[in-house]
Structure 1
């Protein structure tokens, strides 16, 4: 594994004792007039973001918000979001992200569960900023930075308690890993990076990256990877309001973007767009994916279309702030298709027997357990649920994975998604990989249908790639590639596969269609 560790970087980082608001302060000081965010022709520079966030923080405090109070942000990705996010952190309040598309009753329940004292919408931000000074503000480092709610893709959503240190640590873990850097602090207490890695390994210097972002900032992947990491690395982010593959590809070529990031659902949409074969992606040096495993066929197509890019997958969940592993992003590192990388700095991953018999042997399947400084302190107001997943500092993820001899992690499936057929374990992802590689399948997902005689039967929901696709043909093509107990028993053609805002398949909705 040593040859795949980022060259020149230690196994453990020195994390400065600063609040998460120091990310905005450091970026404002270092990157100044460089565009931070661009949306519909309007630009906010890093310096402007820092000053507006300071005004927002003072506005919150003047309006009665006190350090430790919870402030809910209910807004889509927009130029007001980072102002409110970093302003909330600078005020010492706790950021509570709320999906703006949630139904009113669900949003109200989440805000009430979080004990939020204020709910902020995009239109509120200029008013809160108005009339307040924009000078330096000390970023507090105590208490919770985020009270982030899980996606609830397999059950009810729970509030994850993440102190400032967690947010700073996880942001630095990914920023340093992706850029070959070490943490640093400027003279004002702002968080910044020192890029010590070889430019032959990490070819994009700090302060020169350009990306198009669609990952929602109310989600953990958006807040950490799509916001904090981009500020730390001085990246210019172009915001798109919705997924329009043709518009994304046009901007990718026009702006000469240096990296692409998102969930597999984003890349599936781009690959399905006819324009992609005519788009020049030679400027792209890094493609990152998270939220769900990338199908192997997708990786191969992206590699052909962006030959200069390193393709890196990461793995995590809200309970580890955002993530715990990442494929090496340096050019000489080993990139194993199907694996989600190595444990990050100061992070340990082990695979535990599903029978409770302790760790499994290398290469065997089991539940993924994670220990590291980014692991949550617990679920808000849910001590029983916390005790179910935290054991002596280890987080039991509920994911089934494999660690190979080089320390690379592969995610096989969700423990709750695994099917039992006559006592045999059936992993839906294995069948989903076969569906993804099928020329007649645009998208597919597999769930179990309860059967009193055998336990569960695998059923596939499939979006056909063209008219006239026959269920029997797809069924036969997939089933001839697996042993008898893993075979699909039924295919249901659908127009779309339901996914969350973060791109994760909502299997509970598919199971409901089987009732």
Structure 2
């Protein structure tokens, strides 16, 4: 499975995952780390013990309202101190967490909430009222960790239509442990009261940041899979103290990194590009950073070099995943002696198989397929869509990848038309349909223009109908109907859209015009 450079020393190739519900992630950490500060936002903070008590109150508040086992609870909120209270409270009540991007236009949010059949929608001001006066003892709820859903997380399809990804409690526990054990040199354990904890068996030479000592700043949205699993669950299990920033302000981020002596920095390459392009980087102190984790888009080689120069003691690694595998499937070695290969997304993590369909030797391209205990059980109410991607236990991702001779994976293309902007999925079909609905548009195609700082910029090629059309007005008309990260960055007028003999748009040719 792994070669010497990617094999975590002192850890087993397969983990033993306790059969506990996802709420045990918080309960174990709340007891273990107690008065340690878990999250800070502005002038407010919450300790591990306080978070455990408030989540229990929220769970009891839900049950008092008749919301419990199997009921969907939609959390429509940005990162805030109320978010983990509502998230873990929902899980402790046996209800199902439905993350909703708070920036979604009302119509899109309403469709998602309706599709999930959410019984309650929670925003930050709702949380104190649900908690008020309730017991701080977690309720006793019977949960089947293999069958009962913990998350119903929405993602887009190739047509831009959102699909609910069904993730049982077992998936959430497994994927959290796969990543936190990989990153900390630990194995899973259970405390005397059924809480999930870690036993850090790896040496401090290989994993110098010990449990209960790490410090970080978080900008990754918790309504994203990477935010929920890596930016919340895994951090709590490892005993992080995490400061929340409401928006990306590079100067403020770098000032806090110095003041707090952060040990870990994580996010998409767009975060690191913004930091490196800030004038404040010239006086920044990142000497305390021991690990830098990147995902959602490839990190350019030059970016890696500059980060190494600024944080010489940091291990820089990338990973790969998607909502259909709860969060992640691969990661770069996170131990000091590991071999990290720039441009790759590492190797499969514990108990995870990755194959390249169509490839017979290293370096050959094919579709990335994944099998493991973190793979979804299917799409919500979409048996046909499920059957298309889940075949004999293997998830067909639609991504094109290659393995090198040492088993390191690189993602080199996408079989689908999806493009990535700052780690967010942008589906061209949605934008194309909005363009086609505009007066004076005969045909339209949207592709991604490579950009080192954000990944890809959505650019439209438009064939005008009779008469002139204004690219600026077209772009404005479309952009007012979509969330910010989906907005078109340019509209180019052309005489025709290139198509194949079968009538399919040749998007590779269009991308070539932008390079």
1:280-295 to 2 correspondences below 5 Å: 280-295=285-300
Matched, 1:245 2:250: yes
1:14-413 to 2 correspondences below 5 Å: 14-138=16-140, 140-142=142-144, 143-151=148-156, 155-353=160-358, 359-413=359-413
What are the Cα deviations for residues 116-166 of structure 1, in whole angstroms up to 9, with x where unaligned? 100011101000001111024446542000000015687222110000000
* Residues in 2 aligned to 1:514 and 1:197: alpha-carbon distance in whole angstroms: 58
* Residues in 2 aligned to 1:164 and 1:282: alpha-carbon distance in whole angstroms: 38
* Residues in 1 aligned to 2:277 and 2:44: alpha-carbon distance in whole angstroms: 30
* Residues in 2 aligned to 1:215 and 1:140: alpha-carbon distance in whole angstroms: 32
TM-aligned CA deviation for residue 66 of structure 1: 2.4
What are the Cα deviations for residues 270-329 of structure 1, in whole angstroms up to 9, with x where unaligned? 111011121110000000011111122211111111111000101000000000000000
TM-aligned CA deviation for residue 510 of structure 1: 5.8
Q: 1:11 to 1:443 in 2, by over 3 A?
A: closer
Aligned residues: 446
TM-aligned CA deviation for residue 417 of structure 1: 4.2
* Residues in 1 aligned to 2:490 and 2:187: alpha-carbon distance in whole angstroms: 45
* Residues in 1 aligned to 2:493 and 2:384: alpha-carbon distance in whole angstroms: 31
Matched, 1:445 2:456: yes
* Residues in 2 aligned to 1:83 and 1:249: alpha-carbon distance in whole angstroms: 28
* Residues in 1 aligned to 2:399 and 2:293: alpha-carbon distance in whole angstroms: 20
1:19, 1:140 within 8 Å by CA — same for their partners in 2? no
Match of 1:472 in 2: none
Match of 1:465 in 2: none
1:90, 1:140 within 8 Å by CA — same for their partners in 2? no
Q: 1:245 to 1:139 in 2, by over 3 A?
A: farther
Matched, 1:2 2:3: yes
What are the Cα deviations for residues 1-35 of structure 1, in whole angstroms up to 9, with x where unaligned? 33121101111110000000001100111000000
What are the Cα deviations for residues 343-396 of structure 1, in whole angstroms up to 9, with x where unaligned? 00000000012xxxxx43211111100000000011101111111111100000
* Residues in 1 aligned to 2:454 and 2:8: alpha-carbon distance in whole angstroms: 35
Aligned to 1:335, the other structure's residue is in SS state: coil
What are the Cα deviations for residues 159-191 of structure 1, in whole angstroms up to 9, with x where unaligned? 100000000000000000000000000011000
1:15, 1:169 within 8 Å by CA — same for their partners in 2? yes
* Residues in 2 aligned to 1:140 and 1:265: alpha-carbon distance in whole angstroms: 42
What are the Cα deviations for residues 470-500 of structure 1, in whole angstroms up to 9, with x where unaligned? xxxxxxxxxxxxxxxxxxxxxxxxxxx99x9
* Residues in 1 aligned to 2:326 and 2:138: alpha-carbon distance in whole angstroms: 27
* Residues in 1 aligned to 2:50 and 2:155: alpha-carbon distance in whole angstroms: 32
* Residues in 1 aligned to 2:170 and 2:28: alpha-carbon distance in whole angstroms: 16
Aligned to 1:178, the other structure's residue is in SS state: helix
* Residues in 2 aligned to 1:179 and 1:242: alpha-carbon distance in whole angstroms: 28
Aligned to 1:246, the other structure's residue is in SS state: helix
1:352, 1:369 within 8 Å by CA — same for their partners in 2? yes
Q: 1:100 to 1:447 in 2, by over 3 A?
A: closer
Q: What is the root-mean-square deviation of aligned Cα atoms in Å?
A: 2.5
1:452-467 to 2 correspondences below 5 Å: none
Q: Which runs of 5+ in 1 are unaligned?
A: 354-358, 420-427, 437-441, 453-496
TM-aligned CA deviation for residue 449 of structure 1: 7.7
Q: TM-score, normalised by structure 2?
A: 0.82
**Which deviates further from its counterpart, 220-229 or 361-370?**
361-370
2:29, 2:237 within 8 Å by CA — same for their partners in 1? yes
Aligned to 2:162, the other structure's residue is in SS state: coil
* Residues in 1 aligned to 2:383 and 2:491: alpha-carbon distance in whole angstroms: 29
TM-aligned CA deviation for residue 268 of structure 1: 1.1
